[in-house]
């Protein structure tokens, strides 16, 4: 792909997300979502591999179906209320739009397409799908928060946290493990929409930082399977140590950054006397923590003997280290700044 086409696609991808995030008109938001989908498809199919073609087809069908539901619901809302404002959406159409957005996000039980798309994509494309592509749908959920379907969001969030943890136990591909990690984190995230919008923003920011750091670490060490994790230490011990700490942060171990949103969400649920969802979420975090610890175990304690000359792999490109070092540092050491950020 030529640099001109690549820059055009990235610019279109960024612009479409900004259009959706800044719009107050349903048609303009729908146009942004469609432009966002059309921009990412050539990026997914860039490798010209059958798996990439399959991933692009699945992504297109799911996103097109979700966008069609959003357009249908917004048209019904305009017919009922007489305007297209996102802030004034009726309760019936809000439910349809919420289900369509949850489909775009890959929330369980509508998550079947998400791990397959990430597995068929490159590591950098999977990073974009797991982070940047979440912003526009979550912004729409944020904007219709004046009349949210509380029970649906709470139920979907709990199911997603459970599914992401339990199904992720059976995976050996790092991209699929990160996909189910994303599904579980999205479950925690949409639950915060019922609690506090400030907490939602904080949770999303921490999720993007930790996921970006993890994908960049996996891409740098070229670890695509759990077996490859055993070879990561021979490539760069310092980077592998930071990758292990990032895994623990994704699992929510204190005193790392990822502990903060889970602690605050469980605390808010207890204050609202929602004890049953609190217990389920706390238990759902244990399977996720298990496969994070399993990845760290493969990285540090099962290093196979290496007789090849691998010292050249230590010499990573300076731009890559310049981006990876702040990402891993924030993913592990952001906890002391949390009170200032939340307030």
Identify the band that residue 321 occupies on the pLDDT scale cut at 50, 70 and 90. low
Task: Give how far Cα 91 sits from Cα of 28, 87, 95, 195, Å.
Answer: 21, 12, 7, 19
Rounded distance between C-alpha atoms, residue 180 and residue 175, angstroms: 9
Coil, strand or helix at 225: strand
Task: Flag whether pLDDT at 245 surpasses 50.
Answer: yes
Mean pLDDT of 64-70: 95
**Portion of the chain with pLDDT greater than 70, in percent:** 88
Residue in the structure block whose two tokens are 């994790």? 229
Mean pLDDT of 58-78: 94
Mean pLDDT of 11-26: 93
Rounded distance between C-alpha atoms, residue 117 and residue 51, angstroms: 9
Identify the band that residue 41 occupies on the pLDDT scale cut at 50, 70 and 90. very high
Phi-psi region at 210: left, alpha or beta (left = phi > 0; alpha = psi -120 to 50)? alpha
Task: Flag whether pLDDT at 333 surpasses 60.
Answer: yes
Identify the band that residue 146 occupies on the pLDDT scale cut at 50, 70 and 90. confident
Mean pLDDT of all residues in the chain? 86
Backbone angles phi, psi at 173, to 5 degrees: -90, 130
**338 or 329: whose pLDDT is higher?**
329
- Mapped to the 3 state alphabet, what secondary structure does 60-129 carry? HHHHHHHHHHHHHHHHHHHHHHCCCECCCCCHHHHHHHHHHHHHHHCCCCCCCHHHHHHHCCCHHHHHHH
Of 28-42, 132-146, 162-176, 231-245, the poorest mean pLDDT is in: 231-245
Q: Are 316 and 236 in contact (CB under 8 A)?
A: yes
Residue in the structure block whose two tokens are 């759902």? 284
Identify the band that residue 160 occupies on the pLDDT scale cut at 50, 70 and 90. very high
Q: And the tokens for 289? A: 């923590």
Task: Flag whether pLDDT at 313 surpasses 60.
Answer: no
Identify the band that residue 113 occupies on the pLDDT scale cut at 50, 70 and 90. very high
pLDDT at 307 (0 to 100)? 47
Rounded distance between C-alpha atoms, residue 258 and residue 331, angstroms: 7
b/e for 67-100, b at 16 or more Cβ within 10 A? bebbbebbeebbeeeeebebeebeeebbbbbbbb
Mean pLDDT of 123-128: 94
């Amino acid at each position: 792909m030529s640099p001109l086409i690549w820059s055009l696609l990235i610019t279109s991808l960024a612009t479409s997300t900004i259009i959706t995030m800044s719009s107050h008109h349903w048609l303009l938001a729908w146009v942004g979502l469609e432009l966002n989908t059309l921009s990412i498809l050539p990026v997914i199919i860039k490798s010209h591999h059958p798996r990439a073609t399959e991933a692009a087809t699945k992504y297109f069908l799911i996103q097109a179906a979700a966008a069609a539901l959003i357009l249908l619901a917004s048209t019904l809302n305009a017919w009922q209320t007489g305007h297209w404002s996102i802030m004034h959406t009726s309760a019936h159409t809000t439910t349809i739009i919420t289900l369509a957005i949850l489909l775009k996000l890959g929330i369980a039980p509508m998550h079947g397409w998400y791990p397959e798309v990430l597995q068929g994509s490159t590591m950098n494309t999977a990073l974009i799908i797991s982070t940047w592509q979440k912003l526009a749908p979550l912004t729409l959920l944020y904007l219709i928060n004046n009349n949210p379907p509380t029970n649906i969001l709470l139920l979907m969030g709990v199911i997603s946290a459970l599914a992401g943890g339990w199904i992720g136990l059976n995976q050996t591909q790092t991209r699929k493990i990160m996909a189910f990690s994303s599904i579980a984190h999205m479950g925690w995230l949409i639950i915060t929409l019922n609690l506090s919008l400030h907490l939602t923003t904080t949770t999303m920011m921490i999720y993007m930082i930790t996921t970006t750091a993890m994908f960049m670490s996996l891409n740098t060490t070229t670890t695509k399977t759990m077996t490859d994790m055993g070879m990561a230490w021979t490539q760069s011990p310092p980077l592998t140590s930071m990758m292990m700490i990032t895994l623990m942060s994704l699992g929510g171990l204190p005193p790392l950054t990822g502990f903060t949103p889970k602690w605050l969400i469980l605390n808010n649920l207890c204050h609202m006397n929602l004890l049953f969802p609190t217990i389920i979420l706390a238990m759902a975090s244990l399977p996720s923590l298990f496969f994070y610890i399993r990845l760290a175990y493969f990285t540090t304690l099962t290093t196979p003997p290496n007789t090849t000359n691998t010292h050249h792999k230590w010499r990573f490109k300076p731009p890559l280290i310049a981006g990876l070092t702040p990402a891993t540092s924030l993913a592990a050491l952001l906890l002391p700044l949390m009170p200032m950020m939340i307030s």
